[in-house]
Amino acid sequence: MKKTFTLLLAVFTVSFSFAQIPTGYYDGTSGLTGYSLKTKLNQIISNGALDLGYGSGTGGLWTTYFTSDRDYYYENNGTLLDMYSEKPSGPDAYEYNLGQSTAGGNQCGSTNQNNEGFCYNREHSFPKVNFGGQSAVPMANDAHFVIPSDYYVNSRRSNYPYGETAAPSWTSTNGTKLGNSSFPGYSGTIFEPINEFKGDLARMSLYFITRYEDKLASFSQYQSATNPLDGSTNRGFQQWYINLLLKWSAQDPVSQREIDRNNAVYARQHNRNPFIDHPEWINMIWTSTLSSSETAAFDRTLSVYPNPVRNGELHLAGYGLDQIGSVQIYSIDGKLIQTVNQNLKNSNKIILKNTPKGAYILKTESQSVKFLVE
C-alpha cells in the first residue's frame, strides 16, 4: 500500500513539475537526435507562434516584459530584472520600474543619457544586424531572445558576439565585461555577461538558430566579422560559438526564473524555448553524433601520432593547428566520447579518456582523422 502511494506521489510530482508544458507540445520528438531533432523542434516552436510587434508606447515587447522580466528572485521587489545590471549577491546599483515615464516607469523615451541607470530599452541578445535589422520580423520582435536591458550597457555591447575575456576594456556596474576574446577559436571583441546569466543567454541564442532554422541560409547576406552564424541551417553557429554556448549552458543550468520567463512568453507569444523545457536536447543536437558525411570525410593534412595509440595519449600534427581550440573524439559509429577544450597552439598533446581498444574519429572544426587505440 505504502509502495503504491509513493509511486503515485512520484507520478504526481513529475506531472506537476511539467504542468506548464502543454500536453503533447513536444509530440514527435521521441527517438530523434542530432539535427533531425533540431528540425522537428523548429516545426513545433514555429507552429502557431505569434508576432506581437515590437511595440510603441505600451504595446508589444513592452507589455510582455510586465510578466516576463520582473525581479521575484533577487531583491524580490517586482522591479525590472535586467540581466546586464542585476547583481545576484548584493543590491543593484540602480533599479527600474516598468512602464513609461508618464506612468512612473523607466522605459526609455526620446531622450537617453550616456551612463548606466537612466532608462531601459530592448536588447536583441542575438544582434539584429545579423539577420537584417528591425524590419526583419518576426525575429526582431521575438521576446524569447529580445530582452529588456539598461540603455547604456546595451549600447556598449553594440553588435559584438557573446564571449569570455581575460582582459576587459570596460566593466558595467554588475560585472558585465567588454574586451578581446580569450575563448579558443575567436580573437575579436566580445561581450561577457555575468556567470548567473550565461546559461540563460546561451539557451536564448540556441533557441534563435532553432526557431529560425529555415531562414538561416538567407541571413548569410548579413555576414560580417562579428556575426557568429556559419551560414549552415543545421549547426547554425560557428564551432567556437557552439562550444561557448554549450559550456555556458552546462555551467549555468536552467533556473526557476528561466522556467517562469518561458511560461510568461509562451502565454503571450504561443511558442516555447525547448532548451529550457529540455536542456538535455542541447547536447543531443550539437554534440552527440556525427553526420554520415562527416564520418566518411577525412582530411590528409591532419594526422595523429603515434597511430595506433598505446598509452592513452596522442599528438596531433598538421597545418593550422594553432587555430584549433577544441577537438571531439567520436567512436567509429559516430557517438561522442570526449570533448577536449584546449588551445592546440599551447600543446598538441591530447589525453584520451574512456577509449578502450578500437577505432575512433578525432574531429576539429573543419577536419577529421581516424585513429586506432590498442
Query: One-letter amino acid identity for 160?
Result: Y
Whether 316 contacts 329, CB under 8 Å: no
Q: Choose among 326, 145, 298, 312: nearest CA to 240.
A: 326
For the beta sheet containing 358-363, the strands, ordered from the edge strand earlier in sequence to the opposite edge, are 336-341, 326-331, 358-363, 368-373
**Closer CB to Ca ion, residue 173 or residue 283?**
173
Give residue number: closest CB to Ca ion: 71
C-alpha cell at 320: 593550422
Across 160-234, where does the E strand assignment appear?
Answer: 168-171, 177-180, 189-192
In sequence order, which residues have a C-beta less than 8 Å from that of residue 236 and are 6 or more positions away? 209, 210, 213, 216, 229, 230, 242
H/E run at residue 272? none
Other C-beta atoms within 10 Å of 93: how many?
14
C-alpha cell at 77: 521587489
User: Residue 260 gets which letter from DSSP?
Assistant: H
At residue 229's C-alpha, the angle toward residues 262 and 342, to 5°, is 95
**Closer CB to Ca ion, residue 75 or residue 116?**
75
Q: Choose among 151, 254, 158, 160: nearest CA to 206.
A: 254
Q: Choose among 171, 169, 84, 89: nearest CA to 119.
A: 84
**Closer CB to Ca ion, residue 80 or residue 304?**
80
Q: At closest approach, how far in Å is the CB of 261 from Ca ion?
A: 11
**Closer CB to Ca ion, residue 97 or residue 355?**
97
Q: Choose among 255, 253, 70: nearest CA to 148.
A: 70
Positions touching Ca ion (CB under 5 A) are 71, 74-75, 92, 199-200, 252, 255
Q: At closest approach, how far in Å is the CB of 201 from Ca ion?
A: 9
Where do we find the cell 588551445? 343
Across the chain, where does the E strand assignment appear?
Answer: 120-124, 146-150, 168-171, 177-180, 189-192, 302-305, 313-318, 326-331, 336-341, 349-351, 358-363, 368-373
How does strand 313-318 pair with strand 336-341?
unpaired
In sequence order, which residues have a C-beta less than 8 Å from that of residue 372 and are 6 or more positions away? 307, 308, 309, 358, 359, 360
**Closer CB to Ca ion, residue 123 or residue 200?**
200
